[in-house]
Chains A and B, each alone.
Chain A
């Protein structure tokens, strides 16, 4: 099932399916490691940016942008 990154909760894991945030932002996300190979670990999602880790490295993503990142949850 497809979810958007901004709806995931702390502790959930997800794989990126697609990003539709306009050319620039999409590419930037990709190049910062948020590409279709990556597994995200949600560390924080309450107010402010969403904090996720990719391979243990933390990346903060603004809520608006996170809403354009389609992911599928990974069950443990």
Chain B
């Protein structure tokens, strides 16, 4: 027999993933905004010689799904796979959280309730009678503060106990007479038919008009007659509002429970969140504050990551290179091995590794933002502007996440409940400049704009956002016409980010970067190196090498953008598997050519570019085809090869056009 299964179900941002990490010792992404978890995740809990599977799910407000991430959670709950469900409740918002609880009880699920965030409830003077709650519901209730691990042992004990007892519950919800009558009517229709869920519950959902359940019924073999009878029912009652009446009966239930067990202060305690929000989402200050926050992020990234720590990393790698070279020479290694180690590994892969400190700082700060609660505010203050481009504020969160990496940026579009919004949000995410592109900007900035690093970086990011918004507008008017969606979103309280969360989020990204350097970048650089030293008759790293020939063939394509050497063209193509490979390839090729002179990559770039072409090159890199991982994600999320190819091509064309424009206009104005 397989492991017993424990599923975490609850409203968005109630602390499910935090509890999941506490129970399993896993390191799943936690953030203080609704919509962090968009996939099902599994982990293991060991307790008294037994092993349990713990399943973390995206947050849901109800068991009726609107968006992709909610469908994942709802499908799992309905599948009846879990032996017990931990219903995680945000104690400071208990009335609303109990709505989902009422739906879980309506299904008769084996439950354990965790009242999480009791620290915050306490601060706001909200008192909950835990014992009373447990007694009225007949369900074990445990209070907890998940991020501090408080309540862990009791939770495990109750969960294991619940699994042993295999408890189920009678539906405690009282529907009004009218609704009850209709439920019975539907039950009559479904009686004796093979249906995927319990008949009583299914009937309730049919009356409620739950589109998911209706679809499942049509798919299962209940017969044409029954399907028609159900359709007739809805057609006949199309003017009535059972749906809301059913929702209402659950709310009445939830409210009666809350009334009996929760006491709130007569006047809400004014929290720090209220004070901060008065400034941060102010009508005039909201967007300027956002811009300042981002500018600070880049300034700090640059000063600490590049100027202070970057030098150390470069120094270490250079030293390592010297050491390896000596070592290889001393054992009389063949020429090619030395060339590969120094040019390929040290100057190629090493050029990427040098940026670990910089992106570490960047991800620390993005992690801080994510865990602070500011993300939802950014969505709030941008909603108005986003609307002018045919999107809603929520799309803006995907964009900021994309600054870290486009893959989670695109995944987070799952939380959009409208197909048009979701597609457009995915299609514009590649313009959000990700961490992997920073090494490229940084070497060009070091070569040509050493005193304005943060500003250039900020401008590139801003340009990315502007292009994204313009493209959103264009897509809105062409490919995806139609209904625009509504904005509704919770603003969670600001929270002081926990060191653990910030470090965890940083580490997922930085370790990904290091792993890529050791795998994809290593592979790309190796291939490039081999191509650069064959055929044997040609001077290595010269235009006569195979790589030189490829580069020369591509050069005319990039000539209008001002990229004058074959190395520059080749490096752009090397960047399609992974963006860091652009720097890796340039590092290897220029080092090969300039090795005797002992020059750094920055010097080589200064010799081969001008200020103007460095700009057009950076803009090309900003906009052109996203990396393979991003294309793969788009393929998976859109389930369409055509859209994926479309994105790969249109971004390339756009990047090319922008680079050409910059170069041509700049030349005309005499900046060449």
B243 partner residues in chain A, CB cutoff 8 A: 23, 27
When distances are taken between beta carbons in the complex, the residues of chain B under 8 Å from A2 are none
Q: How many residues of A contact B (CB 8 A)?
A: 35
**How far apart are the CA atoms of A28 and B383 in the complex, in Å?**
19
Select the stretch in B246-254, B353-361, B510-518 that faces chain A: B246-254
Q: Which residues of B contact A (CB under 8 A)?
A: 61-62, 64, 66, 92-93, 95-96, 99, 124, 209, 243-244, 247-248, 251-252, 255, 264, 268-269, 273-274, 277, 281, 283, 286, 376, 379-381, 383-384, 387, 392-393, 417, 486-491
Chain B residues lying within 8 Å of A57, measured Cβ to Cβ, are 92-93, 96, 490
- Residues on B with beta carbons closer than 8 Å to the beta carbon of A25: 486, 488
- Which single member of B124, B244, B286 contacts A56 (CB below 8 Å)? B124
Instruction: Assess the B488–A28 pair: CB atoms within 8 A.
Output: yes
Contact of B247 among A27, A54, A56 (CB under 8 A): A27
Smallest CB gap from A22: residue in B: B486
Contact of A24 among B381, B392, B417 (CB under 8 A): B417
B244 near A58 (CB under 8 angstroms)? no
- Bound Cα distance from A60 to B486, whole angstroms: 11
B61's nearest neighbour on chain A, judged by CB, is A31
Contacts of B269 in A (CB 8 A): 56
Is B66 a contact of A24 with CB atoms below 8 Å?
yes
> Do A31 and B99 contact each other (CB < 8 Å), given the known contacts A48-B380, A48-B381?
yes
A60 touches B383 (CB 8 A): yes
Listed residue (A21, A30, A36) with the most chain B CB atoms within 10 angstroms of its CB: A30
**Cβ of B488 and Cβ of A59 under 8 Å apart?**
yes
Grouping DSSP codes into helix (H, G, I), strand (E, B) and loop, the A interface class, with mixed when no group exceeds half, is mixed
Is A1 interfacial (CB-CB < 8 Å)?
A: no
Assuming A24-B417, A36-B248, is B96 touching A54 (CB within 8 A)?
A: yes
Contact B61 A55 (CB under 8 A): no
- How near does chain B come to A42, taking the closest CB pair, in angstroms? 13
Residues in A neighbouring B95, C-beta threshold 8 A: 33, 55
- Who on chain B is nearest to A24 by CB? B66
Q: Does A64 contact B (CB under 8 A)?
A: yes
B446 → chain A closest CB, angstroms: 40
Are the C-beta atoms of A59 and B251 separated by less than 8 Å?
no
- List A residues 1-50 near B (Cβ within 8 Å): 21, 23-33, 35-37, 41, 43-44, 46-49
Question: With A48-B380, A49-B380, A62-B488 in contact, do A23 and B64 touch (Cβ < 8 Å)?
Answer: no
Give the residue of A33, A36, A53, A62 whose beta carbon is less than 8 angstroms from that of B383.
Answer: A62
Chain A neighbourhood of B248, CB < 8 A: 30, 35-36
Chain B minimum-CB-distance residue to A36: B248
A70 within 8 A of partner (CB): no
With contacts A32-B61, A61-B488, A65-B487 taken as known, whether A49 is within 8 angstroms of B124 at the C-beta atoms is no
The answer to whether B487 and A62 touch across the interface, beta carbons within 8 angstroms, is yes
Give A24 to B486 CA distance when docked, in angstroms: 10
The answer on a CB contact under 8 Å between A59 and B491 is yes
- Asked whether B383 lies within 8 Å of A48 as measured between CB atoms, the reply is yes
Whether the pair B384, A47 counts as a contact (CB closer than 8 A) is: yes
Does chain B have a CB within 8 A of A71? no
Partner of B283, one of A27, A36, A47, A64: A47
Residues in B with CB closer than 8 Å to A51 are 281, 380, 491
Nearest CB of A to B254, in Å? 9
Contacts A23-B209, A56-B268 supplied; 17 other A-B pairs, CB < 8 Å? A27-B244, A29-B488, A30-B251, A31-B99, A36-B248, A47-B283, A48-B380, A48-B383, A51-B380, A53-B268, A55-B264, A57-B93, A58-B490, A59-B488, A59-B489, A60-B491, A62-B486
Q: Is the CB of A49 within 8 A of B92?
A: no
The answer for the CA separation of A55 and B254 in the assembled complex, in Å, is: 14
With CB as the reference atom, state the residue of chain A lying closest to B270: A56
Instruction: Name A33's contact: one of B64, B96, B244, B380 (CB within 8 Å).
Output: B96
CB distance from B238 to the nearest CB of A (A): 11
CA of A57 to CA of B14, assembled, Å = 13
In the complex, the 10 A-B pairs of residues with the closest C-beta atoms, listed nearest first: A62-B487, A33-B96, A48-B384, A58-B491, A65-B486, A31-B62, A46-B283, A56-B268, A31-B61, A57-B93
CA distance in complex: A47, B247 (Å): 32
Contacts of B488 in A (CB 8 A): 25, 28-29, 32, 59-62, 65
A40: shortest Cβ distance to chain B, in Å?
13
Q: How far is the CA of A57 from the CA of B66 in the complex (A)?
A: 22
CA distance A65 to B417 in the complex (A): 15
- Chain A residues with CB under 8 A of B392: 62
